[in-house]
Amino acid sequence: MSRRRALQMAGCGFGYVALAGLMDQLARAEGTNPLAPKPSQFPARAKRVIFLFMHGGPSHVDTFDPKPLLVRDAGKPLPTSMGGKGDPNLKLMPSPFEFKKSGNSGLEISEIFPEIAKCADDLCLIRSMHTNGQDHGQAVLKLHTGHESQVRPSMGSWIIYGLGTQNQNLPGFLTISPSPLTGGAQNYGSSFLPAVYQGTPVGRSGISLTQAQIKHIQNGLLTPDLQRRQLDLVQDLNREQLKQAQLDSQLEGVIESYELAFRMQSEVPKVTDLAGESKATLDLYGIDQGLTDDFGRQCLLARRFAENGVRFIQVSHSFKWDQHQNLKKDHERNAREVDKPIAALLKDLKSRDLLKDTLVIWSGEFGRTATGQGNLDGRDHNPHAFTVWMAGGGAKPGYVHGATDDYGSASLVDKVHTHDLHATILHLLGINHEKLTYRHAGRDYRLTDVAGNVVKAVVA
Amino acid sequence: MPLFSMRIVWIQLCAVFLGLEISNVRGAEPSASEAAFFESKIRPVLAEACYKCHSAQSERVKGGLLLDTREGILKGGESGPAIVPGDPDKSRLIVALRYKDEQLQMPPKDPLPKEVVADFEQWVKMGAPDPRAEVKFARAPGAGTNHWAFQPVKARVVPAKIKNKKWVKAPIDAFILSDLEERRIDPAPPADKRTLLRRATFDLTGLPPTPEEISAFLADESPNAFETVVDRLLKSPAFGERWGRHWLDLARYSDSNGLELNTPFPNAWRYRDYVVASFNNDKPYDQFIREQLAGDLLPTTTIDDQHEKWIATGFLVLGPKAFNEPMREKLVADVVDEQIDVTTKAFLGLTVACARCHDHKFDPIPTRDYYALAGIFRSTTTLNENGRPVPGPTLQAWTERPLGTKEESEAVEKFNATLEKAQAEFDSAFNKGKDLPGGIDSKELPGIVVDNLQAEIIGEWSKSTYSTNFFVDKNYLQDGNSGKGQKKALFRPTIPKAGAYQVYLSYTPNFNRATNVPVRIFAGTNITTKFLNQREPPRENKAFTYLGLVDLPEGTNSVVEISNEGTKSGFVVVDAVQFIPLDKSESRNMMAMAPDATRKMRDTTYAGTDFYTMRDKVDEIRAKAPPPLPSAMAVREGSAQNARIAIRGDVERLADEVPRGFISVIDRRKDKAAAFKKESSGRLELADWIASPDNPLTARVFVNRAWQHLFGRAIVNTPDNFGLQGEAPSNPELLDYLATQFVDEGWSMKKLIRSIMLSSAYQMSAQQNPTAFAKDPDNKLVWRMDRRRLEAEAFRDAILAVSGRLDSVRGGPATFTNNPARLVMDGSMPIPDSARRSIYLPTLRNGLDDLFLVFDFPDPHAPAGKRHITSAATQALYVMNSPFVQNQSKAWAERLAAIPQLDDSARIKRAFLEAFAREPNESELMRSRAFLNDFNEAAATKEADPVARRKLAWQSFCQALIASAEFRYLN
């Protein structure tokens, strides 16, 4: 029933008391809690998202997009037909890594990801990604907010604005170890959407996850019992106000927010505490195993959040993938840090039957050039080509979509732009990206701005 | 008319690109006879009988139905399409005209003559031919020009037909009551004095009333007691802090750039203080506009006056800028776009920036208008010469103006000019040496040189040749901005003979470098540590920085160690260290570049130039630098130019040049092209045009904002959008009355605010009224005062006010941490633990303090005339658990405890009075006492000391008051 209709009814002889009751009901139903779960627009394949962000720009031709012709033509300049500008210093550089066919699907994956390769049959590789932004800042913002230079709400904010969240005792949008660089908080900010939709950071990059927590989640001063007494006083004062105000959804909202917060502060530590996980699980994620420890904790935390009904979870491997030089060594090391934890996350989700409706996305902000740099052991930024992969949540498993040109210098076949990726993510969540809008400054805004096509081919 | 046809081509292009719907509803154009039928039989009737309520010119469009365009008729209103071409029986318009359906009869008073109705039936049968639909595009040029907001402000007669004359204290009340009486709604009774005082004090100062102010007001029984209060508050310097902050929302005020290069704006505060002072001095609003847009072009009286007017133009400079944008032209276009956006939104309530890539989709603002304005801002200088961040502590890339006396400024200008010239000579000579690897060959440097290739390397460093600056030999090393504290480079020279050596260090500067690189010199048992800012260029000669004169022992016991410990601020690079024995050094001791090395360069490339002389000259000039002047973010006039339309906003695809001009739909000047002088930007003309009583939007937009700040809900409830997508005014007569009065009273902001507050409307209580609520649930007609939540700043300031910690220092620089450059790499910065009013804390893009983040402070990247009001668990968590609220609660409790001779009840009463401007009722008092007792008991296990326990109980009580809804709401 609409509010208008309720009021019409109320105007036709409902008593005042009845009206108050009705309004009370409606206020609850209508969004005193803007994060209440909302139905998707059509049946959703994914109920939640885990976004694994590889900050810095992993080289697609060294990870998920093998280019044998780079070996054949090593040392030659990039042809002008592919955007080469005849610069003799820019020479095609073969990948220092071998690629292997993996799983039944035979997806070719770089040797630096041996564990992820074992999950090949769950992966949906999109090898034809392209984006805007030659520099990190622009491309990172494009990926996270849909716009490279203007301030817009982040993807996670749009998603919880559209769908609310399942567990009211936890934030709906969490970002684990976010980077303060390249846009920082903008990448999980709500911009012109109400603040309630902004992402909640858990720690930040550079802080060990063992010390990371959500701000203000613990009181530090009072025991829960004492705090409950204090809160009861607050709520009694609030109810006294409400009694005098007679009808006020804002006051109702305040009262509800305290109860929610009180539950949240007891719930969050339970979810973030890894103590209850078995040794086998910790080992699976590579926790307490040197290089994999920190990212392993992030991935395990992501699974725990997913399991507990958080709608959008981002995990960041921050600003490590920018190899203008020392690519072989540093890509190897970076891969070692994330390979085992990510594979563990996929396996763990699967064994808990969560992968089917959890969309896992792996992406950097852009790819890297086919030509070498830094004594032919590095590559420059390349927004014209990169690989993103998805797993679970309705993404087609064991599948490769699109292709780059012979050297991986640009996306060529079935090109997928960042806008298209966003449209597809929303689609898997049961949202028509053109209908998820917010009226601001005189017009309706969307995550996909005025672009975006759902890539139907990657939907299982 | 080639220009005209170009324009058509342009529009068609745009339509194709954008897929604008082309309104081709009817396949064919109306024939001549059809058109004649419409013009003679239909249009006159529509105009006479319907347009009053159903056209863009209607004061209030009824039922959302517009009959003055073909689109309007077909689209219909709230109940659906007005006509179904070809089917009169299904056409609601015809049904209404027939007057047979009791629910649907139009025109409202009497039916039209039967012949006329028959004409309409016939017209619909014909397929409703409508020559007004000749236009090919959904938004034909001219469509929407009738929109109410684009019409001149009308002088309004104060409604006289009022029953409850006693209620009318001010003309405003008559306008409101006239609407209420029409709807048979009674206005709420007046608010009690305490509520009213709290409301007015927060509204005018953003702070709660003190107990003394409360008693004074309660004691004043004169009829003008409230007037006295309002006048007192308007004179308070806190007024400017409150209303200035409202303006700063619109000015997207910030102390840092935001976006991806979040460099600080260390001089932004001068604009903030200017705004505060303007409100406190009741600067006429038209003057306020002129100064912000064109202060630099206005006549001035004194040097202080000049400075103030420069500072005002900071309005145009404060926007976020994408300094990393590789295309200079795009950067410039984006800056101009941002200026158009903030100017048109803040002053005119229009979203003109929508017209950058295509004609505005809803408003009659063609792309040409956008580029007419763009020309004005392109002719204005906002970015420094290359628009690239200058290495230095703040990466300044925008224009500033020095705020010195005339003599001081001239001295600086002269100095800069001389230095630039000498530097340019030196640079051009020096740059020729770049053909050498890294530009510098260690073998040709004097003394002992240890390059990174010979250095002892600890941790993972990467070799690099990336920098375009000079470096020694083949490469240098960088730390990858990672593994901080784990990487070192040890430069160990073999010293042939003990003695004094000059030590020089070379590195390649860049803005992403660390600012605090520790460099330690181990000379035998002596250790000296220096910190190096690698964002700054090396001081000596573009490669080397002098570390000092050090006594070194013979042999290999001396080390220069460069580490990346504590260098979170950015990348650390190491290149080479040079040791020159003092006795061997030239007369130019500071010169690290050896005669041998430079001789080669001189011999080969500098024939005939005197390298040293040029260098010496630079040094000599630099040594005589006048002291740096304070400066302000401010624009300058650039070279006057018109802008060219960028197709779809793409700066690489340019179409027509557009003469500079204003927004045509509201441009009432007779000669629209005449105003612009060839040699000036046109900013002054723009400012005059906006700040004119004839501009239909300027005064309306401002009075609407003032109303919003005093009532919560604005008359036009989309305060930044008065366009066609904006909400219609809830009381258009009142809006125009206020606008007229505002201009007539010399654009006085204080008089406007005062007159609103002295109305009965403002002084109503927030009391609920079911009948009124049923008729007008959103309180659009203002039958009561809405309950309003305090903004984040007022909430924080109120907490500090009750805790007694509020720091009363006004104005001045925002408190940054020691090193503002941190921001650039860290992206965020803790707000200093300051008790100053919120307006004086740094407002950082991408780095807002938690309290501001959770309590809906608007994103300062963009202008915001209206804030969100959300209730969320994060707010509750902040109030319950943040150290800020806990500490202030403690301070408040201590202050209450220190008041002598109060028992618990009296102390509780005092706390209620300070927090809510009222005393607790009986049940609240009992509840509070019970809380203190229970808490005290329950805390026994946690806190054994009874004194500390009691303190904790009171602290928790005070925090509960701060946490209560009443604390952060105005009734």
CA distance A369 to chain B (A): 16
Q: Does B939 touch chain A (CB under 8 A)?
A: yes
Residue of B nearest to A244 (CA): B767
Contact check, Cβ <8 Å, B354/A222: no
Angstrom CA distances, A72 to A76, A85, A378, B927, stand at 9, 20, 18, 83
Q: How far is Cα A86 from Cα A79, in angstroms, rounded to an integer?
A: 7
Q: Does A135 touch chain B (CB under 8 A)?
A: yes
CA distance A21 to chain B (A): 12
Looking at B785, B802, B829, which one is the last position of a domain? B785
Q: What is the pLDDT of residue A32?
A: 58
Asked if residue B451 and residue B330 are part of one domain, the reply reads no
Q: Does the residue B814 lie in any domain?
A: no
Domain count, chain B: 5
- ∠B228-B233-B237 over CA atoms, to 5°? 145
Contact check, Cβ <8 Å, B463/A253: no
Asked if residue B284 and residue B380 are part of one domain, the reply reads yes
Residue A130, judged by CB atoms within 10 A of its CB (0-12, 13-18, 19+), counts as: buried
Residue of B nearest to A135 (CA): B324
Q: Does the residue B874 lie in any domain?
A: no
Q: How far is Cα B316 from Cα A281, in angstroms, rounded to an integer?
A: 56
**Mean pLDDT over each residue of chain B, to the nearest integer:** 85
Q: Does A287 touch chain B (CB under 8 A)?
A: no
Backbone torsions φ then ψ of B462, nearest 5 degrees: -110, 140
Query: Which of the pair, A63 or A178, is modelled with greater confidence?
Result: A63
Query: Which residues numbered 230-269 in A keep a CB inside 8 Å of some CB on B?
Result: 230-234, 236-238, 240-241, 245-248, 250-251, 253-258, 260-262, 264-265
Angstrom CA distances, A155 to A37, A175, B282, B385, B619, stand at 17, 12, 44, 36, 53
Contact check, Cβ <8 Å, B927/A236: yes
User: Can you say how many angstroms the Cα of residue B599 is from the centroid of all Cα atoms in its chain?
Assistant: 55
CA distance A118 to chain B (A): 30
Asked if residue B186 and residue B89 are part of one domain, the reply reads no
CA distance B950 to chain A (A): 13
Q: Does the residue B433 lie in any domain?
A: no
Stretch B253-273: mean pLDDT:
88
Q: How confident is the model at residue B134 (pLDDT cuts 50, 70, 90)?
A: very low
Q: What is the pLDDT of residue B537?
A: 78
Contact check, Cβ <8 Å, A135/B957: no
Q: How confident is the model at residue B541 (pLDDT cuts 50, 70, 90)?
A: low
Stretch B96-125: mean pLDDT:
86
Say whether B771 sits in a helix, a strand or coil. helix
Contact check, Cβ <8 Å, A223/B923: no
Q: How far is Cα B641 from Cα B698, in angstroms, rounded to an integer?
A: 26
Residue of A nearest to B467 (CA): A374
Stretch among B115-119, B123-127, B536-540 having the lowest mean pLDDT = B536-540
Structure-block tokens of residue B840: 């004086």
Q: What is the pLDDT of residue B177?
A: 97
Q: Is A241 left (phi over 0), alpha (psi -120 to 50) or beta?
A: alpha
Nearest to B859 among A19, A191, A254 (CB): A191
Stretch among A293-302, B120-129, B140-149, B916-925 having the lowest mean pLDDT = B140-149
Q: What is the CATH number of the domain that holds B477?
A: 2.60.120.260
Asked if residue B672 and residue B715 are part of one domain, the reply reads no
Q: What is the pLDDT of residue A86?
A: 65
Asked if residue B319 and residue B185 are part of one domain, the reply reads no
pLDDT digits (tens, 9 = 90+) for B138-160: 445 567 889 999 999 999 999 99
Most confidently modeled range among A446-455, B325-334, B499-508, B567-576: A446-455
Domains annotated for chain A, with CATH where assigned, are 44-216+278-458 (3.40.720.10)
Q: What is the pLDDT of residue B845?
A: 86
Least Cα distance to A94 among A404, A383, A377 occurs for A377
Asked if residue B574 and residue B451 are part of one domain, the reply reads yes
Stretch B298-323: mean pLDDT:
95
Q: What predicted TM-score, i.e. pTM, was given to this entire model?
A: 0.74
CA distance B792 to chain A (A): 12
Angstrom CA distances, B500 to A216, A269, B426, B550, stand at 57, 61, 30, 5
Q: How far is Cα B256 from Cα B259, in angstroms, rounded to an integer?
A: 9
Residue of A nearest to B346 (CA): A441
Residue B184, judged by CB atoms within 10 A of its CB (0-12, 13-18, 19+), counts as: exposed
Angstrom CA distances, A429 to A359, A392, A393, A396, B172, stand at 9, 12, 8, 14, 51
Looking at B761, B785, B809, which one is the last position of a domain? B785
Query: Which of the pair, A113 or B613, is modelled with greater confidence?
Result: A113
Q: What is the pLDDT of residue B431?
A: 60
- Percentage of residues in chain A having pLDDT higher than 90: 64
Q: Does B474 touch chain A (CB under 8 A)?
A: no
pLDDT at B615 over 70: no
Query: Which of the pair, B187 or B649, is modelled with greater confidence?
Result: B187
Contact check, Cβ <8 Å, B935/A140: no
Asked if residue B195 and residue B106 are part of one domain, the reply reads no
Q: What is the pLDDT of residue B481?
A: 83
Does ipTM surpass 0.95 in this model?
no
Angstrom CA distances, B932 to A408, B160, B904, stand at 71, 57, 9
Q: How far is Cα B156 from Cα A293, in angstroms, rounded to an integer?
A: 73
Backbone torsions φ then ψ of B132, nearest 5 degrees: -65, -15
Residue of A nearest to B875 (CA): A257
Nearest to A181 among B462, B827, B965 (CB): B827
Q: Does the residue B10 lie in any domain?
A: no
Q: How confident is the model at residue B612 (pLDDT cuts 50, 70, 90)?
A: low
A197 contacts A157 by C-beta, under 8 angstroms: yes
Residues of A in contact with B482 (CB under 8 A): 320
Q: How confident is the model at residue B575 (pLDDT cuts 50, 70, 90)?
A: very high
Q: Does B828 touch chain A (CB under 8 A)?
A: yes
Residue of A nearest to B326 (CA): A134
B547 contacts B488 by C-beta, under 8 angstroms: no
pLDDT at B136 over 70: no
Q: How far is Cα B883 from Cα B959, in angstroms, rounded to an integer?
A: 11
Q: Which amino acid is residue B799, in one-letter code?
A: I
Terminus-to-terminus CA distance in chain B, angstroms?
Answer: 63
Asked if residue B559 and residue B452 are part of one domain, the reply reads yes
Query: Which residues numbered 754-773 in B keep a CB inside 8 Å of some CB on A?
Result: 766, 768, 770, 773
Stretch among B85-89, B452-456, B588-592, B659-663 having the lowest mean pLDDT = B588-592
Contact check, Cβ <8 Å, B964/A234: yes
Query: Which of the pair, A390 or B329, is modelled with greater confidence?
Result: A390
Q: How confident is the model at residue B833 (pLDDT cuts 50, 70, 90)?
A: confident
Q: Does the residue B162 lie in any domain?
A: yes
Most confidently modeled range among B57-61, B252-256, B799-803: B799-803
Contact check, Cβ <8 Å, B871/A254: yes
Stretch among A159-168, A170-179, A180-189, B930-939 having the lowest mean pLDDT = A180-189
Q: Does B774 touch chain A (CB under 8 A)?
A: yes
Stretch B387-397: mean pLDDT:
58
Residue ranges in B776-864 assigned as alpha helix (H): 792-803, 822-826, 850-854
CA distance B910 to chain A (A): 16
Contact check, Cβ <8 Å, B351/A443: yes
Q: How confident is the model at residue A15 (pLDDT cuts 50, 70, 90)?
A: very low
Residue of A nearest to B829 (CA): A180
Query: Which of the pair, B248 or B458, is modelled with greater confidence?
Result: B248
Q: What is the pLDDT of residue B815?
A: 67
Query: Which residues numbered 329-368 in A keep a CB inside 8 Å of some CB on B?
Result: 330
Q: How confident is the model at residue B780 (pLDDT cuts 50, 70, 90)?
A: very high
Backbone torsions φ then ψ of B330, nearest 5 degrees: -70, -40
Residues of B in contact with A194 (CB under 8 A): 856, 868, 870
**Mean pLDDT over each residue of chain A, to the nearest integer:** 88
Query: Which residues numbered 547-606 in B keep a CB inside 8 Å of some CB on A?
Result: 568
Stretch among B722-726, B731-735, B827-831 having the lowest mean pLDDT = B827-831
Q: Does the residue B17 lie in any domain?
A: no
Q: What is the pLDDT of residue B908?
A: 97
Q: What is the pLDDT of residue B27?
A: 40
Q: What is the pLDDT of residue B649?
A: 86
Task: State yes or no: cis peptide before B627, omega within 30 of 0.
Answer: no
Q: What is the pLDDT of residue B442?
A: 79
Angstrom CA distances, A178 to A313, A318, B102, B256, B614, stand at 11, 7, 63, 20, 49
Asked if residue B264 and residue B351 are part of one domain, the reply reads yes
Instruction: Kindly provide the b/e burial profile for residues A100-118, where b requires at least 16 CB atoms within 10 angstroms of the residue's own CB.
Output: bebbebebbbbebbbbbbb
Nearest to B464 among A206, A320, A325 (CB): A325
Q: Does the residue B772 lie in any domain?
A: yes
Stretch B824-836: mean pLDDT:
63
Contact check, Cβ <8 Å, A245/B766: yes
Q: Does the residue B542 lie in any domain?
A: yes
pLDDT digits (tens, 9 = 90+) for A60-106: 999 999 999 999 999 998 887 777 766 666 789 999 999 999 999 99
Instruction: Kindly provide the b/e burial profile for residues B452-480, where b requires at least 16 CB atoms within 10 angstroms of the residue's own CB.
Output: beebeeebbbbbbbbbebbbbbebbbbbb
pLDDT digits (tens, 9 = 90+) for A364-380: 999 999 998 767 889 98
Q: How far is Cα B883 from Cα A157, in angstroms, rounded to an integer?
A: 27
Could you tell me the residue range of the domain that residue B68 belongs to? Answer: 24-134
DSSP symbol at A185: G
Q: What is the pLDDT of residue B185?
A: 95
- Percentage of residues in chain A having pLDDT higher than 70: 92
Residues of A in contact with B921 (CB under 8 A): 240
Looking at B134, B166, B184, which one is the last position of a domain? B134
Asked if residue B250 and residue B170 are part of one domain, the reply reads no
Residues of B in contact with A250 (CB under 8 A): 787, 789, 869, 871, 965, 969
- Percentage of residues in chain B having pLDDT higher than 90: 50
CA distance A160 to chain B (A): 14
Asked if residue B182 and residue B127 are part of one domain, the reply reads no
Q: Which amino acid is residue A281, in one-letter code?
A: T
Contact check, Cβ <8 Å, A226/B939: yes
Q: What is the pLDDT of residue B778?
A: 86
Q: How confident is the model at residue A2 (pLDDT cuts 50, 70, 90)?
A: very low
Stretch B458-481: mean pLDDT:
80
Asked if residue B315 and residue B386 are part of one domain, the reply reads yes
Q: Does A185 touch chain B (CB under 8 A)?
A: yes
pLDDT digits (tens, 9 = 90+) for B668-679: 887 776 667 888
Residues of A in contact with B791 (CB under 8 A): none
Q: How confident is the model at residue B714 (pLDDT cuts 50, 70, 90)?
A: very high
Q: Does A36 touch chain B (CB under 8 A)?
A: no
pLDDT at B8 over 70: no
B403 contacts B632 by C-beta, under 8 angstroms: yes
Residues recorded for chain A: 460
